[in-house]
Structure formats: C-alpha cells, structure tokens
Structure 1
Amino acid sequence: MLLRHDRKRYPTFSIRNIAANGEIWTGIGMEKQSTLRADEIVDRNGKFNENPLSLVLKINYGDFDYVTGGDITGVSEPDQPAWFNMESKIAPVVGEVDVMTMNHHGNRDATNADWLRNLKPQVLVEQTWTSDQPGGEVVARVTSKHLWQGQRHIFATHIQEATKVAIGPWLTRNYQSMKGHVLIRVQPGGSVFDVYILDDHSRERPIKSHFGPFVSRPE
C-alpha cells in the first residue's frame, strides 16, 4: 500500500501486507503462498482458533521499520497442528525491524525464537490486559542475547501487579516501562525515532517519560 496524498513528499513510506488468513507474501512482487486449507482450521466441533489467521503489517519510512502481527501464533502445543506456528514461516520475509509489537499480547504461544532471531528489534511494545501477559517463557526469549545481540528496550501498556510477583525481578529489571500508552514518534526522513510513555488515565495524555533518540538501522 502506498500513500494517496502527497506521495512525492514521502517517497520512502510504504505499508506492506506480509500475511493474512494463512497466506504469506513471498517477498517477490505480488507472489504469495498458502500455508493451510480452510478445512484444516476447523476442529471436530466446528470451531477454530482465528489467531493464526491474523494480519501482519510492516511499515517502512526511510530506514525505519515497524511490524505488528496482531494475535499471530508461533508455538504449537502437542494437541495443535504444525501450521499453528505461523511466526517461523513469516519471520524471514519480515526481516530486521526497529520496532515491533509482541504478538498475541506477549502470550506464551507467540513471539517465538525464530521470530526474534530474524527481526532483531531495538524496541518491543507489549499490549497487555491480563495477568498471564507476558508468559515467563516469553520474557526469557525477548531478553535472550543468544537469539540476537544488541540492546533492546521493552515497553508494556499495563503489567498487572500479580504478574510482577509471579515473574519477579527478571521482569521488572528488563522492562523500561510497565504502564502507560506507548507512542513511537519517527523524525522526518525516518533515520531517528523516540519512544514516549503517556499517562493513559488522563484525557490530555501528558508525557510520563521519554526514551531515545534511537537510530534506525540502515536497510
């Protein structure tokens, strides 16, 4: 997708549909590959888990790259089909990014090792809403220097107190912010970006804290 308004002013801005409904862009032109059939996603009770069908979007502006994968999944349990791991198929097409949202709110069935090893994000944003987010094993993955080297900064919209107690210092030491609206502001041209934490209890959304500036990695 490209801008319809003032496109010449922002020639390096684009939005790419990487995956949706089990179909994944190959990275070439408009080619895509299907990873599952409709009859595979319905169980014997006529129900299905729609999370693996989530839309994955990548936004590019100059050197800045951002990806969000909705509720896409990446960890298959023994009672789940192999295609439930969509992240490992999608990650190579996404490539390295500067900022990513943690898939499926940071639940333990997502943000797998292949995803992180390919994307190597500088900034991770977790959109949390319940006490089992993030899963402890997800914290292990996003903080692991074995998966990718370099600094990473992790921000969550609302970590429950019960989660802090359950996971402990391992969580609180590695998250830069655990409460507040997360705003990513990219400077003109896309080479530099900042992270602002806003007070989401106020309609004015005052700034609580600022992180950065961060330098976008060259393509």
Structure 2
Amino acid sequence: MEMLNNQHRHYVIYKPYGFLSQFKSQDSKQQSKKFLGELFNFPMGIMAIGRLDEKSEGLLLLTTDGKMSALVNSQKIEKEYYAQIDGDISEEAIEALQLGVEIGFEGRKYQTKPCKVFKLEQVPDLPVRSKKIRDDRHGPTSWVSITLNEGKFRQVRKMTSAVGFPTLRLVRVRIGSIHFNTMLPGDVIEINPLF
C-alpha cells in the first residue's frame, strides 16, 4: 500500500567522493565499497533520485515517494554540475557543449540535448575532496558550470571528454531549486516537502 503524501520521507544529502549511490552491497564484488546506508539510518523504502557515480560528489535527493522520484528524473527538473576539467577550456568547446555533443550510451551513439554551459571565472568554494586531484604542475585546469535537464550514465564526464577536456572532479551543486549551500560531504538533511 502506498504511503499517504504526508507520510513520505525526503532527504537531501551531500554524497561524498568514493560512495556508491545505493544503500548496501548488491553482490560480493562490492564488499570493499562504501554505501549511502553508512551515512545515516534511512527508513525502509528509501531510494536515490537519480545517481552520482562513485567518483562524483555533491547533491543527491532521497525519497520514499516513487512519484517524486519520477518527477525529478523527468526532463522537467534542472540539475547543475560544477566540473573541474583538464586544460583551459576554449569558447569553441563551451559552444559545442551548449549545442549538444555525441556521446556513447548503452553501446549506441547519443546526441545530448542543448544545455546551459559557462566557464566559472573563479575556483568554486567547495569542500576539499577526500582524494587529492592532480595539481597545476601537470598543466592548467578550469571549472565549468553545466546545467542539464537529462541525466544519462556518466553524461557530464562523457560530454567534456567529447570536446577534448576530460573531467577531473565533478560536483552536483543544484537540483531544481535545491542547492547544497553549506553542506559538507556526508551531511544528511531531512526536508518536507521536497519541492
């Protein structure tokens, strides 16, 4: 039986680097992995709305409401990412990302939809990542903001690679009107309503 709306539980978390967007191990190959269930005692029926891969970090929404999950995963809700990329990104690369680029998805070619992309003029004020990223002795890096209404597997990483600027660090900073603000990796906040 589905819970009444006011009984659903919703959480905003800052997924740390190195965690999988699932709550416990699915098989024996994952024994050494870290899971969201280690961060907090979540209620039964909780699900991540969308995912962030193991090496990505930042804002992740959790809910017990399947309809809310479907809404956020639909192409109606924007997701904004800050990506630190290898090299000083060119205007041509930014324009290509804005228009959409061809990436691989599920063994086929996929054309990404037009999106908002701009270069950040300053390094964003983000929590220090648990695993060090290479330093400037290995060449320059730059930061971009990428806002999508879609979310294919590892899409942002594939997009920046497609234009010649691989992603070194990826942080989701916003989903719709929800920002992570001053949250730190591992923080969990229960909110109601979600939107």
Identify the TM-score tier after normalising by the shorter chain: under 0.3
Larger RCO (CA under 8 A, 6+ residues apart): 2
- TM-score, length basis structure 2: 0.25
Larger Rg: 1
- TM-score, length basis structure 1: 0.23
